[in-house]
Structures are given as structure tokens and as C-alpha cells.
Amino acid sequence: MTDLASPILQWLNAHPELAGLATFLISTAESVAIIGTIVPGSVMMTAIGALVGAGIIPFWSTMIWAILGAIVGDGISYWIGYHFKNRLNYIWPFKTHPNLLITGKSFFDKHGAKSVFVGRFVGPVRALVPLVAGMLDVKPLRFTIANVTSAIGWAPIYMLPGILLGAASVELSSEIATRVILMLILTGLLIVLCLWLIKKTFELIQKEIDEFLTWIWNALRKSRYFYLLTAALKHHDKTKSHGQLALGFYLILISIGLLYLLVVVLYQDSQNIYINNIVFHLFRSLRTPTIDNIMLCLSFLGEKYVLLPLSFSLFVWFAWTKRMHTAWHVLALGILAASGIEIIKYFIHSPRPWGIVNGDYSSRFSFPSGHTILAVMYYFSIALLFIKTYKIKRYRKVTYAIAVILITAIALSRLYFGVHWLTDIISSALLGTAFLILIILAYNRKEEKTLAPKGFIITTIVTLLLTYSVFFHLTFDKFKSSYTMLAWPTYNVTLNDWWLQQGNLFPLYRVNRLGLPVKIFNVQWVGNLNAIKTLLLKNGWEIAPKHDWLRVIYRITAVNSTEHLPLVSPTYLDNAPVLVLIKRTSTSHKLLVLRLWKSYIVMNEVNTPIWMGSLEFAPSTYSWLFKHKHGPDVALTPSLLFTTLPQTYKIKTTTVTTLINNRTVNQAIILIKPKTTKPS
């Protein structure tokens, strides 16, 4: 196969303008029945990916041609099976090799309708499954949807190893490039193995819990004293009554966890809880205008004005279709959610975090998170009713996964904007789940006739689209302004206090993304930032290059190098540095990094801020054993900053001492100020 791929690779290298056509033909042939078992598609797609990664042929057009070829190839196989059907058994090569069709049919019997999608990624049956789908009269629309969606995922996956190898080979040696690819493959296999183990463990635990609860249910039902409990938890289907006990069991566990969190919050206060502050600072450091817009759109999915009207519209629809049992419980869901949120807020006056303009929320309280409670109750309810409507088991996990993703996204949006503490979100998720279990326990007591699927789905989608659109149009700008992140408070100091490093504010240390002090700033500079940048560039410093995906791969794999900066820039006061410069030392290959942040210190005598700096060597990358290799601290001298000492600045080197995390730290620092500025 390699011998066949090599001349094709050389030909594409010489004729890159024909790469799209060649990719289309290879992808098509690899997906056609029988031909796909002969053509070394995997090898050649990897080879094409290598050319893409090396920049010889374009990425997007090649990827599109590969996807189109996969769609056409599977379409041809489907058409052959649809047209010839069982006559294929008497046509070569199936006549002489009947196991080919038997293998495809066995795969189709095992995986059912999703075989077309799954089969695309399983080498031995990839080209046979579409053929069998045609033979078994799978509807063309159903096949086309699976064909197109699987092709969109198949092309990037098959070309990715080649793309990485080609890109790495451009800038890295062959030994390091191979190591990068091997590390990525092993990491992927490890992730797959971990997910498989988690799935099997969960299935085993769930089975044991079900058996245990069934035994308890039977024991309670026979008990003279506790049989009333089984009557209270009865299910309209006697074969499912022990499931009610399981829900009751989970309700007790959730209530215990919720009670514990409430006690902690009331005793310690949310703002004094360690994990709350860590998460608060972490999300503040991640905020950008683009992510703000995305998160605000997600947050609106949990707004009460978006979700609560759904209870009314579904109540009307269920009542109109004479399904009053469901109608009353849907209405009760909304009433319980709305009233529960307001009552709890009234009794538990938990203040919101600081950090945003928050004009509309200044008089409201942090616990509970109404968005989280409503999201848990409504989106899980929609998922449950959807499953009940269609009576589907195959897509149950997918339906629940979509609900979980929506709920998680909404909860994260509330943490991102800093309008709730982490304990608020966790407690609210537990509270919403408890409310929902109560509704489900009551709903399961009486049988309801089958729900009409189209009416339920249309009513839900139309209501959500309408309420979301109206709320978005009326309030987006208002909420965007309210959620604007506030800067840290500023402090006034005299130039003399700063120069002598005296007073409660000094020495100054950097606080990381978790809000923890990590290191004393070893450079402090008073002056104009543009003038500072120009001076440093004249003294051999360079603007740090932006991270591209190749540098990301290079950094996270086990290459022991200090030629690239860490992927995540350190922060100060939840902000990234305003200036990052690098310089290669003459005595070694180590990379010096200077980062400057704008401080919250305001000088009384001058109009310029103090720029807080961190001068250090770039840390080496992580080893295969994930042990960080710490280099020696930089020997701090002005010569590291300047090849020639500037005449316009006064420079002072001193040593300060402070406590960081209960540890005494001595740190040399450089202070720089304009000579024209005199201390008071």
C-alpha cells in the first residue's frame, strides 16, 4: 500500500493544482463497495493530509473534496444495493465470497439504523454497509442524512494524522515530528480507554443499584409498617414501581447534599469559601468581548421570561388534546419553579459577587440561581416528554446528553459573568433536580395516553423561539451593559513610597487565575508604555509571536524545549499582560520573557501608572511523565533588560521580603522611573 501511495504523493506534490480532483477520486473509490477494500484509502488520505499540513495543497478545498468524495462513494454503494438487492448474491465477487455480504448484514443487524454512520469509521465494513443499507430498503432520506453527517466527520479524522505530520515536519526534525504524532495517538487511545472504562463501571454500578432497590421495594411492600411508603411511591405500571423508590432514594441523597451546602454557605458566607473565589477569578481572567456575546446568548436560554411561558403554552396544548394529567403537571412545574426561586431568595439573603456593573441585579440575591433551576427543570422535562412521546430507547442517551449540554452551558454562563458563586450553581442544580423528581413522582402515579409527537415538538419549539427572540431583541444591549466587567479598585500612593517600597501595598505580587498570590513582581516601571516598548525593542527584545496550532502541538507534547512560550499566559488582577517581549540569551538557548501589566497603583505626582513586570526564563515543556521541569530563577540585573543603560531613566535594584502562602519570600526587584521625575 505504501508503494502505491508514494507515487501518488509525489505526483500531487508536483501538481498541487489537481489535488482537489485527486482527493475526490481517492475518497470516492475508498468508499465504493469492493473497490474500497482494494484501494489503500487510509494510507493515501493520510498522505494527502501530510501535503495539506506542509502547506503544499490548500486545506479547506481539499477537505471539502474529500467530504464530497466520501458522500458520492457511499451513495454509489447504496444505489447498487438498492437497485440489485438480493441479486448481488449471484454476482461476482459476492457469489464466490458470500462472507462479504454476511459480514455487512451482521454489522447492520447489530447496530440498526445507525450502522451507516458508525460503519463509515469501521475499516472492514466501511464500503459494505451502504450496500447492505440499499439491499434492506433503508429510506433514501434517512441514508442521506447519515451519509452526509458521517462524511463530514470521516474526512478530517482520516486526514488529521497526515496534517499533523506534514505541519510538524516543516518546522521540526523528523525525530521530534514522529514523537509529536506518537504522543497524540497515544493520548487519543488513552482517552478512548478511559471513556470505555467509565462507561462499563457506570453500567455495573447502575445494575447493582437497580437490583438492590428492587430487593428493598419487595421488602417494604411486605412490611407491616412501611407498606404505606410503597403506596405513596406507587407507579401506574406495577412492573416499574421500584423505579419510584429509586427516584425517592435519589431525592433523599440530593436533599442531604443540598442541606449540607446551605449550612456551609450560611455559616461561612459565599464570598469566604475558597473554591468560590478560585472559580470567580478564573472566569474573570477568561472574559473577552466575543465570549461575552456568546455567553449572554446562552444565558438567555435559562431566563424565566423565556422558559416560564412554555408551561402555559404546553398546558393549553395538552388540555386541548385532552391530556389533562400531563397539562396540570406541566403547569405545576412552572409554578413550583417560579415560586420556589422567589421564596428561597427572600429568606436567604446571599449577596452576589462583585465585579460587574450589574445595574439590574444590585438589589437581588445570589442564591439560588434561577437560571440553573429553570434550566434543569425545563430542559430535562422536555427531554423526558420527548422520549415518552416517541417511546424511543435507542436515542435516549443522546436526548439526555443534549439536555445536559444545554444546562451546563447555561450554568457556566452564570459563572462566567460572575453573577453567582459556584456554590450557588451547584446548590441550584440540586434544588432544580429535587423539584423535578417531585413532579415526576406525582406524574408517574397515573397513566396518560400516548402524547402526540408533532404537536408537542412544534408547540415547544415555536414557544421557545418566540420568547427567546422577543427577550433577546428587547434586552440584549441592556444586559450586555449590566454584565460589563468592573476594573479593580485603584489606590493612590506617593512616588517616594513606591521608590522606597514602603507602605501596606508593597511589595506587590502577582495573583494567578485562581486568585492566589504566586510571585513578587521583579520589575516595576513608571513611564509611557509606548516609550517603554520602543526602548526595549532597541535593546534586543522582540515582540512575542502569537500562538498558532503548530506551536500548541509543539508545546503540549513531550519536547523538552524553551523556544516557545506557555500556551496560557499568566494573569494579574484577572487580566492578561499588556506587553509580552522575548529575548534569546547569548550564553544559552534559554528564552527570556518580560511581561508587563497595568497596575491599580496611581501616582500622586505623575500622570503615568506603574507597569508591573515579570522577567523570567520561559519554562520548559512537560515531559512524558508530566513532570514540569523548573529552570533556575533568573539572576536579576539591569543588563538583562538593557544592552546599553538608558540615559532618560533612573534604575534601582533592591530586595524585598514578604509572605506568600505562609512562606517567607526574598525577591530582587528592579525599579525604573524617568529621571525628570523627582520623589516628593
User: In this predicted structure, what is the pLDDT of residue 106?
Assistant: 65
Rounded to an integer, the average pLDDT of 416-436 is 90
| Strand boundaries in 450-516, DSSP class E | 491-493, 509-511
Rounded to an integer, the average pLDDT of 644-648 is 84
pLDDT at residue 174 above 90?
Answer: no
User: In this predicted structure, what is the pLDDT of residue 301?
Assistant: 93
- Identify any residues that bridge with 654 across adjacent strands, giving them in sequence order: 669
pLDDT at residue 645 above 60?
Answer: yes
Rounded to an integer, the average pLDDT of 336-354 is 81
Look at 402-406, 484-488, 555-559 and tell me which has the smallest mean pLDDT.
Answer: 555-559
- Identify any residues that bridge with 617 across adjacent strands, giving them in sequence order: 592
Domain ranges of the chain: 2-171, 272-482, 491-674
User: Rounded distance, CA 594 to CA 240, Å?
Assistant: 65
**Please, which pLDDT band fits residue 375 given cuts at 50, 70 and 90?**
very high
* Closest of 301, 447, 475 to residue 378, by C-alpha: 301
pLDDT at residue 284 above 60?
Answer: yes
pLDDT at residue 489 above 60?
Answer: yes
Work out the number of other CB atoms within 10 angstroms of the CB of residue 43: 18
| 674 in Cβ contact with 527 (< 8 Å) | yes
In 3-state terms, what secondary structure has residue 351? coil
Q: Which residues have CB under 8 Å from 113's CB, separation 6+? A: 138, 142, 146, 394
- Helix and strand totals (H; E) in the chain: 24, 11
Which residue type, as a one-letter code, is found at position 191?
I
Report for 141-150, 303-312, 617-626: range of highest mean pLDDT = 303-312
Buried b (16+ CB within 10 A) or exposed e, 498-527: bbebeeeebbbbbbbbbbeeebbbbbbbbb
- Identify any residues that bridge with 657 across adjacent strands, giving them in sequence order: 666
User: In this predicted structure, what is the pLDDT of residue 407?
Assistant: 93
Rounded to an integer, the average pLDDT of 613-635 is 59
Angle between helices 324-347 and 370-390 (to 10 degrees): 170
- Identify any residues that bridge with 673 across adjacent strands, giving them in sequence order: 650
Q: Which residues have CB under 8 Å from 99's CB, separation 6+? A: none
| C-alpha cell, 154 | 470521516
**DSSP letters for 408-425:** HHHHHHHHHHTSS-HHHH
pLDDT at residue 463 above 90?
Answer: yes
CATH class given for the domain over 272-482: mainly alpha
| C-alpha cell, 143 | 441514508
**Please, which pLDDT band fits residue 296 given cuts at 50, 70 and 90?**
very high
| 467 in Cβ contact with 305 (< 8 Å) | yes
User: In this predicted structure, what is the pLDDT of residue 409?
Assistant: 93
| Chain segment 49-63, per-residue pLDDT in tens | 777 766 677 777 888
What is the phi/psi pair of residue 273, to 5°?
-85, 130
Q: Would the CA dihedral through 598, 601, 607, 613 be positive or negative? A: negative
**Please, which pLDDT band fits residue 214 given cuts at 50, 70 and 90?**
confident
In the chain, what percentage of residues exceed pLDDT 70? Answer: 71
pLDDT at residue 626 above 50?
Answer: no
User: In this predicted structure, what is the pLDDT of residue 165?
Assistant: 65
User: Rounded distance, CA 421 to CA 29, Å?
Assistant: 55
| 572 in Cβ contact with 511 (< 8 Å) | yes
* Closest of 273, 272, 277, 285 to residue 573, by C-alpha: 285
DSSP code of residue 649: E
Sheet strand arrangement including 523-526 = 542-543, 579-584, 591-598, 610-617, 523-526, 663-674, 649-660
State the alpha helices, DSSP H only, in 287-395.
Answer: 289-299, 304-320, 324-347, 370-390
User: Rounded distance, CA 241 to CA 221, Å?
Assistant: 11
User: Rounded distance, CA 524 to CA 528, Å?
Assistant: 13
In the chain, what percentage of residues exceed pLDDT 90? Answer: 10
**DSSP letters for 542-596:** EEPPPP-HHHHHHHHSS----SS--SS---BTTB--SEEEEEE-SSSS-EEEEEE
pLDDT at residue 94 above 90?
Answer: no
**DSSP letters for 17-31:** GGHHHHHHHHHHHHH
In 3-state terms, what secondary structure has residue 524? strand
User: In this predicted structure, what is the pLDDT of residue 623?
Assistant: 39
* 220-225-228-233 Cα dihedral, nearest 10 degrees: -30
User: In this predicted structure, what is the pLDDT of residue 91?
Assistant: 61
Q: Which residues have CB under 8 Å from 570's CB, separation 6+? A: 510, 512, 513, 518, 577, 595, 614
| 443 in Cβ contact with 329 (< 8 Å) | yes
pLDDT at residue 641 above 80?
Answer: yes
pTM: 0.65
**657-665, long-range: CB within 8 Å, 24+ apart, which pairs?**
657/507, 658/507, 658/509, 658/520, 660/509, 660/517, 660/518, 660/519, 660/520, 661/516, 661/517, 665/520
User: In this predicted structure, what is the pLDDT of residue 181?
Assistant: 60
The cell 516609550 sits on which residue? Answer: 531
| Chain segment 494-548, per-residue pLDDT in tens | 888 888 888 777 778 777 666 667 788 888 888 888 888 999 998 888 888 775 5
pLDDT at residue 360 above 60?
Answer: no
User: Rounded distance, CA 333 to CA 308, Å?
Assistant: 9
Rounded to an integer, the average pLDDT of 556-570 is 56
* 56-57-59-61 Cα dihedral, nearest 10 degrees: 170
pLDDT at residue 334 above 50?
Answer: yes
- Round the average pLDDT of the chain to a whole number and report it: 76
Query: What HEC string does 154-166 produce?
Result: HHHHHHHHHHHHH
User: Rounded distance, CA 131 to CA 136, Å?
Assistant: 9
**Please, which pLDDT band fits residue 298 given cuts at 50, 70 and 90?**
very high
CA angle in degrees (0–180, nearest 5) for 645-648-654 = 60
| 268 in Cβ contact with 478 (< 8 Å) | no
pLDDT at residue 351 above 60?
Answer: yes
